[in-house]
Structure 1
């Protein structure tokens, strides 16, 4: 009997160790990806990528650089980290401003196609922050938008100071893609309430954002490894809370948009399998009015602008023109 109990105890200990090791691996795989430095930190490679994928940007980008109009800005986060952004003032003075948020392992440069939309085509001031651990911002992990939402609110306040000082304050849209869209939605749940209230934000555009970090990781765990959520995801979430201060479940764009009554435009490709299209329908359903939804036919993840640049610009313009004058 004692021998059986000993074997049982050893088996349980071995399984717990295996689970803990697997959870640590998952945490590193998802939140400290090897490609983070090589992809997000490499500004030159990002610039070359954008010129190849969006050649129409080259004359605009070259003119910005020649005129010294593409500028850098740094702030310090509430956690004491230095955060970096790019910004461009509108060609003609205006209080219309767009804060544009990149996705997972991307950076501000890789959002310049959306910057082009607002700056060159709509005449807005633009600010493009690099999220924690991306681009030239400090940090060594991905926050999946949750703690980023607070950094984003610092950036929107900064943009209001930068562009509103000579214009009596700004009228602002926040526009995010993928994890940046989730960050946008998470911030949207804060700006009408309490200490984070920011009345200069008039509307939001979210493009292919996920419902929650939990849902996104659960889907990827099954798609990439064929594993169920239990128990690995639960343990990894607990470790994330212990080490990084947030859990997968609380990083919920779904719960945040429930609280947002400001206008929001939802964009999603109907061929998106990385952030499955069902997520946008769930998000749209819980979001209070006013809201709009545009599903792009045949579009994979984060490619709605690339596949439909004219229509994308028209949808965004029609939406923001209703709330920013």
Structure 2
């Protein structure tokens, strides 16, 4: 009998060790990829010109004039955070804070910067989230703690562009989830509305989908263990980081955009998000668009829809 008990205990210990090792791998894989692979600033300019050729003259003009500038802030934990910003072609209080996605950077969101700055005449500010671009950070935060940094950047934008600004926060992918997480916080009066483009319902839901598709594994027990490990290492859990919960608290207008061919953040995720949002809102399902390609595929319609929605709340002057 003792041998069977010892064998059983050994199997339990082995199982726990495998789960623990697997959860450590998952955390490293998802939240701390090689930073040299994320440093896309050097190549991002040429990538933008290739993917969005119509914005090339605007990029050249900004670079030649020095109109696109860098700024940094220091977060309460000492992390140095970076952003790009540009004043509008003509003085205005209208301002857009534009938030990038997973493993991207501020430079690679300049196509949305073009939409607001060139087409709509807004001031723009584009932060690098933690562990991305030129910002510090020990790991990718998937939008959860990033929401507090974006709140700080909203204040920086208000001060930088003369105070009494009227702001929209616009995010894509992880940046869209961050935007929705921001929307549930106590907000300064300068924030007037939000645009989220292909954001996920929660980190748990997104990682569960990736675990199944990439590794053919169920959520239990690996995702539970990885979420607990994330809490111990970084102070947040996968279920806690819920855009769905936060968007339900949002009282400002929000435009939801999602491609109907999105498989990375499945299109089905946008519907519970839209339903959870109270008050003024709109939804655009983009025919044929894959993940984060709605603007690239339909730039004119994307611009028109954003301008019509945002203009109602930010104004025209």
Name the TM tier (shorter chain): over 0.9
- Within 2, Cα distance between the matches of 1:127 and 1:148? 15
> Does residue 1:247 correspond to 2:242, yes or no?
no
Partner of 1:179: 174
Partner of 2:60: 62
Q: TM-score, normalised by structure 1?
A: 0.96
Q: TM-score, normalised by structure 2?
A: 0.98
Instruction: State the secondary structure of the residue aligned to 2:135.
Output: coil
Partner of 1:286: 276
Instruction: State the secondary structure of the residue aligned to 1:175.
Output: strand
Deviation, structure 1 residue 164? 2.5
Deviation, structure 1 residue 78? 2.1
- Within 1, Cα distance between the matches of 2:292 and 2:52? 14
After superposing on structure 2, the runs of 4+ consecutive aligned residues of structure 1 that deviate more than 3 Å are none
- Within 2, Cα distance between the matches of 1:140 and 1:247? 16
> Does residue 1:48 correspond to 2:46, yes or no?
yes
Residues 45-194 of structure 1: matches in 2 within 5 Å?
Answer: 45-165=43-163, 169-190=164-185, 193=186
**Per-residue CA distance 1:139-159 (angstroms, 9 max, x = gap):** 131100000000000000100
- Within 2, Cα distance between the matches of 1:10 and 1:187? 46
- Within 1, Cα distance between the matches of 2:153 and 2:309? 22
- Within 1, Cα distance between the matches of 2:6 and 2:269? 47
- Within 1, Cα distance between the matches of 2:166 and 2:215? 45
Deviation, structure 1 residue 305? 0.2
CA RMSD of superposed structures (Å): 0.8
Contact 2:98–2:112 (CA under 8 A) maintained in structure 1:
yes
Equivalent residues, number: 315
- Within 2, Cα distance between the matches of 1:216 and 1:320? 28
Find the partner of 2:264 among 274, 298, 308: 274
Q: Gaps spanning 5+ residues in structure 1: where?
A: none
